[in-house]
Structure 1
């Protein structure tokens, strides 16, 4: 690819050199065109097709290579062919040449620039994908912007060439018409500046500004169309109605109430959502109990013998439910009503963009609201395997109702939930088979991260990678088994049965979008089942917003809270300023042993996005606190901009990884580099020192060797030597 780029650059350089060495740039002047106008007309009369074709190709070539002269060629086209044919020829030639110029810029420079400035270009390309045609059309309408510059700059983005072509074809038409028309009066022109008077430039500027004004008019039009379709209320009971009382809905309600907006929160089950009742809180309580059992088994390596732990599973689940009850007041109805939120129990259905019908035990009522924020969450996916409907499947929703510990548990899914729960149950005493269709656990993480976790899991449970679940069947003992398929070492397909008492499915979650009347209102659903929203979390309806699991792309409690702030502030104050949600420094933790924590890019994502990076790695076996506690498994891996200390992402595998990650998250959020982390005092001995040690590894790899050489000579001179004495080791 590099050779092709070099060859293309050489060809363009030769064309440019030929253009100037041949004197073509001196021929394409207004005086020359005026003097040779009669000869041009004679050529056209003698050989119309040859002249028209040659003119077209010459125009395309000049525009494609971004040579000066396109403006004069446009004027000449008007003089030769008249307004109609001239406009037709030049319109297509200019658009084609501009597209070739964009393609040349893209071929020569886009890949290197994307590697060097990936993070900056990512947002630009996102904007181009969303509104690139609109933006390009506006630029084309204003002749104040040199078209060749627009060609080159837009070529460096990820705009589709077909979009670039047709927008250029339409957008350049008014300006082209002005110059072609001026060509008809070629003999009267004194200079090209006479074509565009201040008045005409002002007119073009107004034309160019019109699309921006049109955007506001379109927004007004959309609201009026909604009003015509649905009969907009004359007044509203609420500023915001939030549908869903999980983490995202609670945060949205809290923020709206804090700024004194009138807000209603509708929840059909319990406030707190999945995180409190079936997710974060109960799973961490279970993980803690399982870890205690594991620590008792491993106590002899610290000189303490306690024997095999006796696990009372009912008591373990009692601990889990006690944790839920103790956290529950933080998310209670009483607390939020005390904050000024109207909490309503029931099912919510949007009758129109401003009316929400709520059906509950207290009857039915209709709420009118200026804005609706949908935070309805998600639920576990259950694959449609043959035979699976014949058993009661465990998921992260109903798992917490278990009363007895399964003797044999099969976990389907090797993501975060499957790994966390699979390890916990095997530590509590279950025999666990974990089945993952992919080639590694935690498919979003780097291979070495997944391999570190796999090594730990395989000490206590059986992991089946690259294994596909086929069906649920009755086994030879009258129980049930999961039939799976994998390839053996020779590549031959092998089918086997994994018997189980209970089957736990952890293959992902699907957004709760059904039953709220969204489809009837035209609210779009993405391919992954989440509601389609823009970067401000607004749906296709201007007053309907979404946040949390129902909006994706990250189904994490803190991601939902992050989105809830943006959705609420944009809903209430979007007329003045909107905030685009960013996930650049979004942390995520898998609470296995060892923990896996990450913020920003890992190597897998950096390669996919073609981001250039440098890796700094620190093994936790070198950390004094880890050595003292006998927990040396794991490492820290930081990605930085090559040659700089700016952090692109950090991954930590090890005990307390989630806690250590906070420092890297803060650094990325506040644009703090590794140099400043290195200069920060950390208490000794702590796990947090690993962050500073990682920064030290980076610093050591970027020592100013030349300066250090001069310092060595300086100190040798101070000691009385000549500065060239051999340095000791």
Structure 2
């Protein structure tokens, strides 16, 4: 059995832990997938590299109401694909080669499993151990157990971006953020898209008002079917399609929906890789949702207590499944590994997220329902303001009838509890609100304590802040003045 000073399982955010402070350690990096992890290879980055040209194409459909006639004349899918992965594959390969050149780093390009606490066995049979292990082996797409799920026409987000041609018909199964983004990409580039969801509501973790506005706009761009459960996928011969996808009504099993498709994208969620890692054999606690249990310092737990020398970060232990969260957790682990007497916790209070669909969506903090429940529990009141993009000067310029900014605050203090946007550049407009929440800036101070560029689209945020029923002189602001939070 080979002993290292440190073993890192996963080459995504876990790979970023190694800096000059680790140069004296004998380190193993173990990853049976593509080097660089989900975000680089099959997640955030390539999907947005598709979403951007798709958004450009979508804008041509909206130009006519502004007095501009525009159209998409040609979509060169292979050129787009090769541009994207020509860049990404080179970065992945370069990262792998760099790690291989370091004398103190050993790279295992194979899957690994725990066989007992702090002992791992690679797929080739070698056992390795270390006093410190970082588990950062991510998650994978969920594939429903239905007939035909393994047909070549069926894809997940891991594979669909590398197909050879833009499909004529796409059936997207799932109503979450992955389904929303790919429905936008394929429909905007010219495919006939049908998105099918098991429940009646899309984007169920978002504020209902945002989800409703998105569903309204999405139904104008591609076909939406809700309340259907996937039951089978069949290979189909003929010119009409390559596959036939069958759904059933969960309330009435006799009622079916059959849809032709050239590509079926299964976007029904992701699951942490704790099972393939056999985390329980390593003495580690696994939550009911499959996540590896960790404390605020990113220490993996065993029987509810920190497991000696084992740390975890990213999708395998975090419910957020967001790269910026994994990176923050990696910085926590990076410090804590070398400073056991000065542990730092990861700040998960105000985690923003965005969906790069059409229209774009962004959120941080509580939904209105969550805030109302919080207010009851804490004996306080909330205030809510919904501001339409179209009520601002730049919204007039865009002739916008879609976008809105919804803010939720504590009425007595002006403390922002949640922010939710749907519309153009929502992922950018939300950032000052994340900053305000993170640094304890109340709504009125946020609105009046700085200039807002006129007539920029950011005025929708300013106006939403001003529309909240909050005091002009917040107790939060007074706390800041005396040096407290």
TM-score normalised by length of structure 2: 0.85
Q: Deviations over 1:515-560 (max 9, x none)?
A: 5453323222222222122333222122112111111211111111
1:197 corresponds to: none
Of the candidates 660, 669, 675, which is equivalent to residue 438 of structure 2? 669
Could you list the runs of 5+ residues in structure 1 that have no partner in the other structure?
A: 1-230, 705-729
Equivalent-residue separation in structure 1 for 2:220 and 2:104 (angstroms):
50
Within 5 Å, which residues of 2 pair with 1:198-347?
237-238=4-5, 240-246=6-12, 248-254=13-19, 257=22, 263-325=27-89, 328=92, 332-333=95-96, 342-347=105-110
Residue 265 of structure 2 aligns to a residue whose secondary structure is strand
Classify 1:353/1:338 alpha carbon distance in 2 versus 1 (closer, same or farther; 3 Å): same
Which is helix-richer, 1 or 2? 1
Equivalent-residue separation in structure 2 for 1:573 and 1:253 (angstroms):
15
1:633 corresponds to: 402
1:413 corresponds to: 174
Instruction: Assess if the C-alpha contact under 8 Å between 1:415 and 1:442 holds in 2.
Output: yes
Question: How far off is 1:359 after superposition?
Answer: 6.0
Residue 292 of structure 1 aligns to a residue whose secondary structure is helix
Which is strand-richer, 1 or 2? 2
Answering whether residue 271 of structure 2 is matched by residue 504 of structure 1, we say no
Within 5 Å, which residues of 2 pair with 1:150-549?
237-238=4-5, 240-246=6-12, 248-254=13-19, 257=22, 263-325=27-89, 328=92, 332-333=95-96, 342-347=105-110, 348-350=112-114, 352-358=116-122, 367-390=128-151, 392-473=153-234, 479-486=242-249, 494-539=255-300, 540=302, 541-549=307-315
Instruction: Assess if the C-alpha contact under 8 Å between 1:254 and 1:339 holds in 2.
Output: no
Instruction: Assess if the C-alpha contact under 8 Å between 1:601 and 1:650 holds in 2.
Output: yes
Question: How far off is 1:426 after superposition?
Answer: 0.9
Instruction: Assess if the C-alpha contact under 8 Å between 1:253 and 1:341 holds in 2.
Output: no
2:316 corresponds to: 550
Answering whether residue 457 of structure 2 is matched by residue 691 of structure 1, we say no
Q: Which has the higher contact order (CA 8 A, sep 6+)?
A: 2
Residue 580 of structure 1 aligns to a residue whose secondary structure is coil
Equivalent-residue separation in structure 1 for 2:458 and 2:101 (angstroms):
39
Could you list the runs of 5+ residues in structure 2 that have no partner in the other structure?
A: 474-485
1:648 corresponds to: 417
Instruction: Assess if the C-alpha contact under 8 Å between 2:390 and 2:401 holds in 1.
Output: yes
Equivalent-residue separation in structure 1 for 2:458 and 2:106 (angstroms):
42
1:156 corresponds to: none
Q: Deviations over 1:144-182 (max 9, x none)?
A: xxxxxxxxxxxxxxxxxxxxxxxxxxxxxxxxxxxxxxx
Of the candidates 319, 341, 356, which is equivalent to residue 591 of structure 1? 356
Question: How far off is 1:561 after superposition?
Answer: 1.3
Question: How far off is 1:313 after superposition?
Answer: 1.7
Q: Which has the larger radius of gyration?
A: 1
- After superposing the two structures, state which structure 1 stretch, 653-662 or 679-688, moved more: 679-688
Equivalent-residue separation in structure 1 for 2:427 and 2:459 (angstroms):
14
Question: How far off is 1:420 after superposition?
Answer: 0.6
Of the candidates 571, 578, 603, which is equivalent to residue 337 of structure 2? 571
Equivalent-residue separation in structure 2 for 1:620 and 1:481 (angstroms):
41
Q: Deviations over 1:301-323 (max 9, x none)?
A: 33333444221221222232244
- Give the RMSD, CA atoms, in angstroms: 3.0
Equivalent-residue separation in structure 2 for 1:438 and 1:582 (angstroms):
33
Residue 483 of structure 1 aligns to a residue whose secondary structure is strand
Equivalent-residue separation in structure 2 for 1:652 and 1:340 (angstroms):
48
Equivalent-residue separation in structure 1 for 2:4 and 2:392 (angstroms):
59
Classify 1:587/1:595 alpha carbon distance in 2 versus 1 (closer, same or farther; 3 Å): same
Instruction: Assess if the C-alpha contact under 8 Å between 2:54 and 2:189 holds in 1.
Output: yes
Q: Deviations over 1:197-229 (max 9, x none)?
A: xxxxxxxxxxxxxxxxxxxxxxxxxxxxxxxxx
Equivalent-residue separation in structure 1 for 2:235 and 2:37 (angstroms):
35
Instruction: Assess if the C-alpha contact under 8 Å between 1:255 and 1:568 holds in 2.
Output: no
Classify 1:324/1:302 alpha carbon distance in 2 versus 1 (closer, same or farther; 3 Å): farther
Question: How far off is 1:673 after superposition?
Answer: 1.3
Equivalent-residue separation in structure 2 for 1:266 and 1:378 (angstroms):
15
Classify 1:341/1:600 alpha carbon distance in 2 versus 1 (closer, same or farther; 3 Å): farther
Q: Deviations over 1:600-659 (max 9, x none)?
A: 111133345555522122221122223223345211111111222111111111111111
Classify 1:388/1:519 alpha carbon distance in 2 versus 1 (closer, same or farther; 3 Å): same
Equivalent-residue separation in structure 2 for 1:370 and 1:573 (angstroms):
15
Instruction: Assess if the C-alpha contact under 8 Å between 1:351 and 1:357 holds in 2.
Output: yes
Classify 1:356/1:615 alpha carbon distance in 2 versus 1 (closer, same or farther; 3 Å): same
Classify 1:647/1:295 alpha carbon distance in 2 versus 1 (closer, same or farther; 3 Å): same
Equivalent-residue separation in structure 1 for 2:98 and 2:438 (angstroms):
31
Q: Deviations over 1:461-511 (max 9, x none)?
A: 1101122222224669685322223389xx996322111112100000111
1:559 corresponds to: 325
Question: How far off is 1:597 after superposition?
Answer: 0.5
1:98 corresponds to: none
Within 5 Å, which residues of 2 pair with 1:606-617?
606-607=371-372, 609=374, 610=376, 612-617=381-386
The number of aligned residues is 460
Classify 1:336/1:669 alpha carbon distance in 2 versus 1 (closer, same or farther; 3 Å): farther
Residue 274 of structure 2 aligns to a residue whose secondary structure is coil
Classify 1:613/1:368 alpha carbon distance in 2 versus 1 (closer, same or farther; 3 Å): same
